[in-house]
């Protein structure tokens, strides 16, 4: 019994992730946490996307279920679970059944290596980035099989489009990633593919890779940012599910629970690729200006931000509670909103406890950066029309690929300029 | 339906084998499809994603409007025309009323004419707004739809205040108007004009210089002016192809010759030009409305029209510039209270013919864009 | 670059046999399914299980390459082609050719040979001394890179370049073969 | 029993051999070219498994940097990609002309 406790507590002092420290108990806890957290994040995203999009489009969005539609995602989830699960007559039943699970599996497995903090990850893999790219590319298998198994024209066309799109944008994505990985080799501990190693390398070099070798880092990030939207089939690259052309693309024939799996997978894939971008270019869990604004005062100030954020959200809730119509019909909603604010405020207060504050700070900054990307996704959707298929391919192969290749060479040259210069001197002197 | 000169009939019997061995894939778009603007069915013959030809199947919304006319008196038929192009019901009513007035040889009094022009031009803006929203939605931009619907609401409010109906207004009567303009009508219209002008800039801000919008619309669905004339295409589609033809200028009706406005034309005849033409048309309509509101004369709103209308024997063709193109009414009278034959020349129906020409060699996604840019209303196509 | 000796993982046999079973069943499904899509899915399962085995063999980089290239690249290509060509006809036809018996016998003979080799000891010595699967954590990716690119230890640099040439030839060949109109 | 529980190189080799045989059976007996190509992938994977297992074995003898087997495995994967691309290209060309994907109907040198 004592051994067990020691086994469990030994991790808490470790400076490694549970997977790397070989602590299976904590690894499982983290798996659970990540899974639950991801599901909650997807639910929040569902609500936020509808609300933000609605406010961009001068309307209110969901308002009926719960205060400000806060319970709408739960109602949606319930509806989807209770809906009849239709399998078309001509469909290949087994494949039709498996396909959504492949997509979900691919989207969720990626989070094994996502570093929410130096010790907050399920595991730290030697080949973290490679693993992430590889596993997220498996989603295309699910999409292709879903389209094929539906035995219908529109899904098949959606699946073919989608696979072509994802395969071609993976190339540009890979090139951008490689240029970031090349930047890691400039730090003292040498180059690395590990997600945690990449962030540590940014910390050690004292610069986010976004600003490294200006403007090379920013261009690489731009390529990745475009490719990741295409990779997740979101607007303006949402051709596979182009509503006006292919009704719903590869998941036209899906309904109910299986459809909700696709939905879940889409949003977790969005979070996953955003996490890659955050890790590679935006300093992962590092707070803003860790080198410029250092010292205990700044550390304290920045570590208070998570709690303050939650208190601000709680304040918003209370403000809206006060603005609720004073009518018996709205009583439950008012109480609900106040309760929600109370929960948020409590979380905020807990985040001020020093022990929690220190541990959660990393996760907060990482999530905040990812949330920024999520907002970007919604913003794109509200603003852009949709690309046509050939134009999409043109952007992928004729713009992003050459730019990525040039960038790769330039990054290598700039990164090795001292060595190259030395060699040139040697040649000249000879 | 298929023009034998340009396209061999589609072979719908042989099933498409695969994407690969068969050069052609026949795919059915509609009648239940989110982007066909109603119950239009389009049979596409594709090579991969390239359109080799297409055929429109229409009639899913056929109600026999023209036949109904033969069993109704002239007055009784008036509300029916609103149901054809339900997006631009006021224009339909104007065309019908003017056609019957021509048959009866009466003319609406000036005040009625001015109010008619204001309402019709408001309706043109509403129709173009609806077109813009749905067209942008088809191309994937979802936000303009909500912007245009928000602003269209203001027009519908004016209609509602004027005649009680928002969509199928039945605003005009043969010989003039039934209702005097309500208290504050002019102020409302003026407010609307100053309200909507910046909003049109807002739409343009979202789309006109948007790179993706440009790529999706430039060079898509090109049709030459000559082809337009050969196919009988009218309206903004014709003007975007460079033909300066607007019935408001060419054969002025309803006082239009008193107003100062311009006819926008395009050069390339592509989807982008049609978009620009319609945007300018909205602004020109605002100009007309401003002038009309300034100059509404006092006076009666109804001409002297007999209670029981028995037009003299004969026939008449009267066309107006509806938002979608030339809307013509051909009425044959046998001297009785009911038309002997009434034939409508709906702009959507004729413009739809150009779909095949415009889509050849384009991709499937362009078909959607082209259907959107033609601005068809199935109620008018099928009648 | 310091090798770190780690303890042998506890559940190795369990994972090995589990993954081996998945691979074998997947392999059997690949060669017995009538529907090519089912075969492809079975093959993907096999490939992923094999990637897991690579991880057990401390070859994470190869595992990563296996997932990206095989499961994410080659198999998508396979699925793509299967969807391009119709398979309705194949469903009704017999899946095996006429010499299936000969094939199985030949494969059985080969298998017998392999079993013979594996089980026979050569001059009293076991073919692979027991327990030589080492548990040494190494900088796997860096090690492979050193073998491929390093100026001193990179003995496979030329082979790597040849491989890239091979890929170029394959790209051109595939385009020439598959394009309808060049 | 100990030999069963202690996973050695031989275990991987046996697994590789089994996969190899499955692949051979597939190549020899199936009619569908696509599945024949997939069986070839199986064979290549069996080889890869052996190579990586050997690499592990070699590391036990020559130290952690003896990764030659893994390098070879990567070459084999490269090769498999090239093979799949060309093979499927030929398949598509063949299918376009003969409207079949059965190997035993490939009985003409020219068509």
Rounded CA separation B239/B56 (Å): 24
Beta carbons of D85 and C173 less than 8 Å apart: yes
- Pairing between strand B176-177 and B25-29? unpaired
Instruction: Show which subunits contact B, needing at least 3 CB pairs below 8 angstroms.
Output: A, C, D
pLDDT at B68 over 60: yes
Q: What are the structure tokens assigned to A71, written together? A: 């319970």
Decide if A378 touches B, using CB distance below 8 A.
no
Which DSSP symbol is given to B258? G
Instruction: List CB contacts (< 8 A) between B21 and chain C.
Output: 85-86
Q: State whether residue D33 sits within 8 Å of chain C by CB.
A: no
Report the sign of the C-alpha dihedral through residues C90, C93, C95, C96, in that order. negative
Residue D111 lies inside a defined structural domain of this protein? no
DSSP B322-367: ETTEEEEEEEEE-SSSSEEEEEEE-HHHHHHTHHHHHHTTSBHHHH
SS3 B253: coil
Comparing alpha-carbon positions, the chain B residue that sits nearest to D99 is B21
Query: What is the phi/psi pair of residue B280, to 5°?
Result: -65, -35
pLDDT digits (tens, 9 = 90+) for A376-397: 888 888 888 888 888 888 888 8
Q: Cα separations (Å) of B113 from B186, B246, B299, B302? A: 15, 19, 11, 10
So what's the pLDDT on residue B60?
86
Termini Cα distance of chain B:
17
Nearest CA in chain D to B20: D96
CB contact under 8 A, C43 and D13: no
Q: Which chains touch C (3 or more CB pairs under 8 A)?
A: A, B, D
Matching residue, tokens 């395009």: B266
Neighbours of D58 (CB within 10 A): 18
Assembly ipTM = 0.80
Distance CA B117, CA B114 (A): 5
Please, what is the average pLDDT of chain C?
A: 78
Please tell me whether residue B55 adopts helix, strand or coil conformation.
strand
- The reported pLDDT for the residue numbered B166 is 86
Give, to the nearest 10 degrees, the angle between helix A153-184 and helix A216-231.
160
Which backbone phi and psi does B255 adopt, to 5 degrees? 75, 5
Q: Chain-wide mean pLDDT for chain A?
A: 84
B17 touches chain A (CB under 8 A): no
pLDDT at C72: 81
Any chain C CB within 8 A of the CB of D15? yes
A138 contacts on C by Cβ (under 8 Å): 67, 71-72
User: What does the pLDDT average to over C126-138?
Assistant: 55
C-beta separation of A209 from A281 below 8 A: yes
**Dihedral (CA of B370, B372, B376, B377) sign:** positive
β-pairing verdict for C4-5 and C136-137: antiparallel
Of A297-306, B128-137, B338-347, the poorest mean pLDDT is in: A297-306
Please tell me the predicted confidence (pLDDT) of residue B19: 43
Question: In chain B, whose CA is at the least distance from the CA of A234?
Answer: B140
Is there a contact between A187 and A205 (Cβ–Cβ < 8 Å)? yes
When divided into structural domains, chain B yields a total of 1
Mean pLDDT of A121-133: 83
How far is Cα B217 from Cα A287, in angstroms, rounded to an integer? 44
Residue of D nearest to B21 (CA): D96
Q: Is the pLDDT of residue D24 over 50?
A: yes
Domain presence at residue B44:
no
Residues of C with CB under 8 A from a CB of A: 35, 37-38, 41, 44, 60-61, 63-65, 67-68, 71-73, 75-76, 79-80, 83, 139-142
pLDDT at B77 over 80: yes
pLDDT digits (tens, 9 = 90+) for A259-287: 888 888 888 888 988 988 998 888 888 88
**B20·D99 Cβ contact <8 A:** no
CA of C71 vs chain D CAs: smallest distance (Å): 11
Q: Are B364 and B44 in contact (CB under 8 A)?
A: yes
Q: Choose from B16, B17, B19, B20 for mutation: most chain D CBs within 10 A.
A: B20
Quick one: pLDDT at residue B372?
Answer: 85
Q: pLDDT for B83-102, tens place per residue?
A: 888 888 888 888 888 888 88
CB pairs under 8 A between B and C: 10
Residues of C in contact with D23 (CB under 8 A): 27, 31
CA dist B350 and B353 (Å) reads 6
pLDDT at residue number C5:
47
Chain C residues with CB under 8 Å of D100 CB are: 89
- Considering the domain boundaries, does residue D110 fall inside one? no
Tokens 């045989």 locate to D21
Q: What was the pLDDT predicted at C98?
A: 77
pLDDT score recorded for residue C9: 53
Q: How far is the CA of B346 from the CAs of B81, B96, B186, B311, in angstroms? A: 11, 12, 31, 24
CA distances from A270 to A228, C81, C94, C147 (A): 8, 28, 44, 36
**Higher pLDDT, residue B296 or A246:** B296
Query: Looking at A325-329, B116-120, C119-123, which range is the least confident one?
Result: C119-123
A405 interfaces chain C, CB cutoff of 8 Å = no
C136 membership: H or E segment, kind and range: strand C136-137
User: φ and ψ at C34, to 5 degrees?
Assistant: -75, -40
Judge whether residue A211 has pLDDT over 80. yes
Question: Residue B57 domain-assigned?
Answer: no
Distance CA D88, CA C80 (A): 10
CB-based contact, C74 to chain D, within 8 Å: yes
Chain B neighbors of A381, CB-CB under 8 A = 142
Distance from CA of A330 to the nearest CA of B (A): 27
How many contacts does A have with C, using Cβ atoms within 8 A?
73
Chain C residue numbers with beta carbons less than 8 Å from the beta carbon of D56 are: 57-59, 133-134
H or E segment and range at residue A277:
helix A256-281
Query: Which of D7, D13, D34 is opposite residue C13, by nearest beta carbon?
Result: D7
Residue B170 region, left (φ>0) first, then alpha (ψ -120 to 50), else beta?
left
Please state, in angstroms and as integers, the Cα–Cα distance from residue C33 to each residue in A126, C37, D34, D37, following that order.
37, 9, 12, 14
Sketch out chain C's domains with CATH numbers.
1-111 (1.20.120.1200), 139-182 (no CATH)
CB contact under 8 A, C163 and D92: no
pLDDT confidence of residue D43:
92
* B50 neighbourhood in chain C, CB within 8 Å: none
In the predicted model, is pLDDT for residue C25 greater than 90? yes
Residues of C (125-154) whose Cβ lies below 8 Å from D: 127-128, 130-134, 136-140, 143-144, 146-148, 153
In the structure encoding, which two tokens stand for residue A157, read together?
Answer: 């066309």
Contacts of A278 (CB under 8 A, 6+ apart): A284, A366, A369, A370, A373
Mapped onto helix, strand or coil, the DSSP state of residue A212 is: coil
H-helix or E-strand containing B54? Answer: strand B50-57
SS3 per residue for chain D: CHHHHCCCHHHHHHHHHHHHHHHHHHHHHECEHHHHHHHHHHHHHHHHHHHHHHHHHHHHHHCCCCCHHHHHHHHHHHHHHHHHHHHHHHHHHHHHHHCCCEHHHCCCCCC
Provide the token pair at C19. 């993954």
Q: Is there contact between D and A if contact means ≥3 C-beta pairs under 8 Å?
A: no
Q: Compare CB distances from A163 to C44, C65, C76 and report the shortest one's residue.
A: C76
Express each pLDDT in B184-196 by its tens digit: 888 888 888 888 8
pLDDT per residue as tens digits for the range B346-363: 888 888 888 888 888 888
How far CA D1 is from CA of A283, C15, C73, D11, in Å, comes to 51, 17, 40, 13
Mean pLDDT across A209-231: 87
Distance CA C78, CA C38 (A): 12
| Structural domain of D99 | 2-105
pLDDT bucket at B210, cuts 50 / 70 / 90: confident
pTM of the model: 0.84
A/C Cβ contact: 3+ pairs below 8 Å: yes
Residue C1 pLDDT exceeds 60: no
| Kind plus residue range of the DSSP H or E element containing B21 | none
pLDDT at A311: 92
* List of residues 6+ apart from A399 with CB closer than 8 A: none
- Show which subunits contact A, needing at least 3 CB pairs below 8 angstroms: B, C
Structure tokens at B20: 């690969």
Lowest mean pLDDT among A136-145, A207-216, B260-269, D56-65: D56-65
Domain contains B48 = no
Does some domain include residue D35? yes
More confident residue, B128 or B38: B128
Give C98→chain B minimum CA distance, Å. Answer: 27
B157 within domain boundaries: yes
Q: Tell me which residue has tokens 């007309």.
A: B288
Contacts of B157 (CB under 8 A, 6+ apart): B166, B188
* pLDDT tens profile B240-285: 888 888 888 888 888 888 888 888 888 888 888 889 899 899 888 9
Q: How many domains does chain D have?
A: 1
Tell me if residue C5 falls in helix, strand or coil.
Answer: strand
Of B34, B143, B363, the CB nearest to A56: B143
Element of type H or E holding B52: strand B50-57
> Which pLDDT band, with edges at 50, 70 and 90, does C165 fall under?
very high
> Would residue D52 count as lying in a domain?
yes
**Lowest-confidence segment of A413-427, B8-22, D34-48 by average pLDDT:** B8-22
Report residue A235 as tokens. 């607007």
Q: Please give the structure tokens belonging to residue C43.
A: 């093959």
Tell me the C-alpha distance between A96 and A257, whole Å: 13
Residues of B in Cβ contact (< 8 Å) with C84:
18-20
CA distance, residue B42 to nearest chain D CA (Å): 29
**Cβ–Cβ of C58/D56 closer than 8 Å?**
yes
Reduced to 3 states, what is the DSSP secondary structure of residue B50?
strand
* Confidence label for B5 from pLDDT (cuts 50, 70 and 90): very low
Q: What is the CA radius of gyration of chain C?
A: 21
**Which helix or strand (DSSP H or E) is residue B42 part of?**
strand B41-47
- Domain span at residue B251 reads 65-382
Chain A's closest residue to C58, CA to CA, is A126
**What is the CATH classification number for the domain harbouring B264?**
1.10.645.10
For chain C, the straight-line distance linking the first and the last C-alpha, in angstroms and rounded, comes to 51
Report the distance separating Cα D15 and Cα C52, nearest Å. Answer: 14
Residues of B within 8 A of A388 (CB-CB) are 215-216, 363, 365-366
Report whether B325 contacts B351 (CB < 8 A): yes
Closest C-alpha to B42, from B383, B380, B366, B266 = B366
């Amino acid at each position: 019994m004592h051994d067990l406790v020691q086994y469990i507590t030994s991790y808490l002092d470790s400076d490694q992730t549970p997977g790397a420290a070989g602590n299976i108990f904590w690894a499982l806890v983290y798996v659970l946490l990540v899974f639950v957290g991801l599901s909650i994040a997807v639910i929040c995203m569902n609500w936020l996307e509808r609300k933000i999009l609605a406010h961009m489009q001068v309307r209110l969005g969901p308002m009926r279920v719960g205060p400000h539609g806060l319970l709408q995602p739960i109602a949606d989830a319930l509806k989807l679970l209770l809906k009849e699960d239709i399998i078309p007559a001509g469909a290949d039943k087994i494949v039709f059944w498996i396909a959504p699970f492949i997509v979900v599996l691919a989207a969720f497995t990626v989070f094994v290596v996502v570093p929410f903090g130096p010790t907050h990850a399920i595991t730290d893999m030697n080949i973290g980035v490679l693993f992430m790219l590889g596993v997220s590319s498996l989603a295309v298998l699910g999409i292709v099989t879903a389209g094929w198994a539906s035995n219908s024209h529109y899904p098949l066309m959606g699946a073919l489009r989608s696979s072509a799109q994802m395969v071609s944008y993976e190339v540009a994505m890979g090139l951008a990633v490689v240029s970031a990985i090349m930047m890691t080799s400039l730090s003292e501990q040498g180059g690395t593919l590990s997600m945690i190693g990449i962030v540590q390398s940014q910390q050690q070099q004292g610069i986010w890779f976004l600003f490294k070798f200006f403007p090379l880092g920013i261009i690489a990030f731009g390529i990745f940012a475009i490719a990741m939207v295409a990779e997740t089939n979101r607007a303006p690259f949402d051709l596979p599910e182009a509503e006006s052309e292919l009704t719903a693309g590869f998941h036209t024939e899906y309904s109910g629970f299986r459809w909700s799996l696709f939905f879940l997978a889409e949003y977790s894939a969005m979070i996953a690729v955003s996490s890659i971008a955050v890790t590679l270019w935006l300093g992962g869990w590092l707070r803003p200006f860790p080198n410029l604004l250092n010292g205990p005062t700044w550390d304290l100030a920045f570590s208070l931000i998570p709690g303050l954020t939650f208190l601000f959200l709680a304040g918003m809730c209370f403000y809206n509670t006060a603005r609720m119509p004073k009518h018996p019909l709205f009583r439950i909603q008012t109480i609900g909103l106040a309760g929600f604010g109370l929960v948020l405020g409590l979380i905020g207060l807990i985040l001020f406890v020093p022990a929690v504050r220190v541990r959660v700070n990393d996760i907060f900054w990482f999530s905040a950066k990812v949330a920024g990307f999520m907002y970007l996704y919604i913003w794109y959707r509200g603003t852009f029309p949709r690309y046509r298929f050939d134009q999409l391919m043109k952007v992928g192969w004729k713009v992003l690929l050459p730019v990525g290749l040039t960038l790769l060479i330039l990054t290598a040259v700039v990164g090795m300029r001292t060595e190259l210069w030395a060699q040139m001197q040697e040649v000249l002197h000879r | 339906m298929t023009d034998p000169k340009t396209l061999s009939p589609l072979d719908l019997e042989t099933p498409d084998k695969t994407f690969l061995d068969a050069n052609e894939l026949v795919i059915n778009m509609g009648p239940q499809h989110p982007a066909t603007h109603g119950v239009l069915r389009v049979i596409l013959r594709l090579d991969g994603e390239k359109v080799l030809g297409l055929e429109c199947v229409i009639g899913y919304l056929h109600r026999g409007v023209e036949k109904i006319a033969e069993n109704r008196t002239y007055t009784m038929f008036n509300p029916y025309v609103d149901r054809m192009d339900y997006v631009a019901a006021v224009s339909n009513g104007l065309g019908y009323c003017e056609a019957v007035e021509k048959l009866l040889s009466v003319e609406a009094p000036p005040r009625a004419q001015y109010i008619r022009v204001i309402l019709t031009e408001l309706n043109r803006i509403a129709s173009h707004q609806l077109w813009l929203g749905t067209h942008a939605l088809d191309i994937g931009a979802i936000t303009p739809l909500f912007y245009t619907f928000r602003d269209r609401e203001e027009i519908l409010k004016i209609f509602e205040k004027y005649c009680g109906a928002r969509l199928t207004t039945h605003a005009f009567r043969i010989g003039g108007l039934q209702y005097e303009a309500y208290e504050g009508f002019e102020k409302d219209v003026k407010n609307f004009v100053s309200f909507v002008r910046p909003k049109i800039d807002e739409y343009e801000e979202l789309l006109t210089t948007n790179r993706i919008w440009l790529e999706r619309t430039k060079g898509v669905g090109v049709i030459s002016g000559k082809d337009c004339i050969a196919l009988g295409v009218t309206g903004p589609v014709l003007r975007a192809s460079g033909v300066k033809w607007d019935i408001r200028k060419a054969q002025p009706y309803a006082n239009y010759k008193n107003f100062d406005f311009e006819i926008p034309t395009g050069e390339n005849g592509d989807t982008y030009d049609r978009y620009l033409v319609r945007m300018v048309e909205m602004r020109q309509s605002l100009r007309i409305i401003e002038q009309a509101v300034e100059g509404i004369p006092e006076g009666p709103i109804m001409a002297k029209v007999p209670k029981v209308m028995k037009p003299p024997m004969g026939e008449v063709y009267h066309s107006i510039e509806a938002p979608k193109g030339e809307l013509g009414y051909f009425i044959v009278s046998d001297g009785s209270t009911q038309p002997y034959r009434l034939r409508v020349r709906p702009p959507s129906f004729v413009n739809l013919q150009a779909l095949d020409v415009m889509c050849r060699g384009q991709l499937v996604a362009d078909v959607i864009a082209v259907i959107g840019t033609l601005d068809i209303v199935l109620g008018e196509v099928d009648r | 670059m310091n090798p770190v000796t780690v303890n042998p993982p506890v559940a190795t046999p369990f994972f090995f046999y589990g993954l081996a079973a998945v691979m074998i069943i997947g392999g059997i499904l690949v060669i017995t399914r009538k529907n090519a899509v089912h075969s492809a899915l079975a093959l993907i399962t096999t490939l992923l299980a094999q990637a897991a085995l690579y991880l057990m063999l401390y070859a994470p980089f190869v595992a990563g390459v296996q997932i990206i290239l095989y499961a994410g690249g080659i198999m998508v290509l396979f699925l793509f082609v299967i969807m391009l060509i119709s398979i309705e006809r194949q469903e009704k036809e017999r899946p095996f050719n006429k010499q299936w018996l000969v094939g199985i016998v030949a494969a059985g003979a080969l298998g017998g040979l392999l079993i013979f080799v594996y089980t026979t000891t050569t001059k009293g010595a076991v073919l692979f001394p027991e327990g030589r699967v080492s548990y040494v954590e190494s900088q796997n990716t860096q090690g492979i890179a050193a073998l491929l690119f390093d100026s001193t230890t990179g003995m496979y640099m030329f082979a790597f370049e040849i491989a890239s040439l091979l890929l170029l030839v394959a790209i051109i060949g595939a385009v020439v073969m598959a394009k309808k109109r060049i | 029993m100990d030999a069963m529980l202690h996973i050695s190189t031989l275990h991987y080799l046996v697994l590789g051999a089994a996969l190899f045989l499955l692949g051979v059976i597939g190549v020899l007996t199936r009619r569908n070219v696509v599945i024949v190509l997939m069986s070839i992938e199986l064979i290549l994977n069996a080889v890869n498994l052996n190579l990586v297992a050997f690499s592990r074995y070699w590391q036990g003898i020559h130290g952690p940097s003896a990764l030659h087997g893994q390098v070879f495995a990567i070459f084999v994967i490269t090769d498999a990609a090239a093979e799949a691309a060309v093979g499927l290209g030929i398949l598509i060309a063949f299918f376009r002309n003969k409207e079949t994907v059965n190997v035993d109907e490939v009985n003409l040198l020219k068509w």
